[in-house]
Structure 1
Amino acid sequence: MIEQYLGFSSDYILLGLAALVLIMIILLIVFIVQMSKLKKRYKIFMEGSTARSLEDTLIYRLEQVDELIEANASNERNIDTIFKNMQSCFQKIGLVKYDAFNEMGGKLSFSLCLLNENNSGFIINAMHSREGCYTYVKEIIDGNSIIQLAEEEEKALQQALGDN
């Protein structure tokens, strides 16, 4: 009777349903195996720990993260302060040793240039002779001097500026 309405035999329907049941049983077995593996991993994870000790461990780690965040913020503030202070420190140096007078040997005279980040600072020129040592200081602003520089002082300035 059903065969007349559908146009095919009920045997095909039963075979289709049997195949579907077989596929469902296979999927059920796969899911049971996966669940078993998951339970084993969970037991290993929780072994030796209670839920309370796990919670305490998580809280402790979160507190450590908060401390690290605070320490990082403090370090950033300190680094900013250091960089601001470094701008006014002498960072560039030029030194030229020379003989100021022909009768003296050993290059005991020198010109020393010290500059900060903005190329401002000073040049110390110490000229050594038999009678004594004469020292002069010339101010440098933005890589230039208001006072005329001697050849050795100019070389020291160029060294400090990196022009060599």
Structure 2
Amino acid sequence: MDYVAQLSSLVMNNLQYVLLGMTIMILLALVVFVSINMKLAKMNKRYRTMMQGMEGQNLETLLISHIEDVKKVVHKVDDLSVVCRRLEGISKECIQKVALVRFNAFEDVGSDLSFAIAILDSHNNGIVISSIYGRNEFRTYAKPVVSGDSSYLLTEEEKQALTQAMKK
């Protein structure tokens, strides 16, 4: 108890200094409080501005709208992927490889007027067309090609056209 009495006596003898110290601490606390309230007011203003969004919509409505748009776009992309795969399948069956070999079929005809053309799809299926030009006659032959080979006998020029086409 003697300790409490001494402390009480010390505070009473220096009361003006104790009150001055407490006043300074209260003023510092007030400055910190005002500063925090000003920062909070700025943050609230920015938050309200952000929540306003575009054209008066709040941010939540705007985000939900964008999420719905993204879902629609994903659905369209899925549809386009299906169409793209279908078109890729179709395109493999289309003409993709063509090669032409011109040649002179007869000694007495110049200018390489005869030709062999190979027309193939991506699986090397298609046709080889030969045209033989002579002074008195003109003939055209068509031979089917399956997997890069024909069941008919091919001339050297037809083989050359087929080989060139398959390399493409």
TM-score when scaled to structure 2?
A: 0.69
| Structure number, greater radius of gyration | 2
Corresponding position: 1:35 with 2:49: no
Shift in alpha-carbon separation, 1:105–1:41, aligned structure 2, 3 A: same
> Residue deviations 1:78-108, cap 9 Å, x none?
1011011112112111110111112112221
For 1:61-80, what aligned pairs fall within 5 Å after superposition?
61-80=66-85
Q: Which residue of 2 aligns with 1:126?
A: 131
For 1:1-164, what aligned pairs fall within 5 Å after superposition?
1=3, 31-32=36-37, 34-45=39-50, 46=52, 49=56, 51=58, 55=61, 57-162=62-167
Query: Shift in Å at residue 77 of structure 1?
Result: 1.3
Query: Shift in Å at residue 147 of structure 1?
Result: 2.1
Shift in alpha-carbon separation, 1:161–1:111, aligned structure 2, 3 A: same
How many residue pairs get matched? Answer: 150
Query: Shift in Å at residue 143 of structure 1?
Result: 1.2
Query: Shift in Å at residue 50 of structure 1?
Result: 5.3
Which stretch shifts more, 103-112 or 66-75?
A: 66-75
Query: Shift in Å at residue 148 of structure 1?
Result: 2.2
TM-score when scaled to structure 1?
A: 0.71
Shift in alpha-carbon separation, 1:155–1:38, aligned structure 2, 3 A: same
Query: Shift in Å at residue 38 of structure 1?
Result: 1.8
Q: How far apart in 1 are the matches of 2:31 and 2:162?
A: 86
Shift in alpha-carbon separation, 1:30–1:108, aligned structure 2, 3 A: farther
Unaligned runs of 5+ in 1: 3-20
Unaligned runs of 5+ in 2: 5-25
Q: How far apart in 1 are the matches of 2:67 and 2:103?
A: 64
Query: Shift in Å at residue 39 of structure 1?
Result: 2.0
Q: Secondary structure at the residue paired with 1:144?
A: coil
Query: Shift in Å at residue 137 of structure 1?
Result: 1.1
* CA RMSD between the two structures: 3.6
The residue type equivalent to 1:83 in the other structure is E
Q: How far apart in 2 are the matches of 1:70 and 1:30?
A: 51
Query: Shift in Å at residue 32 of structure 1?
Result: 4.2
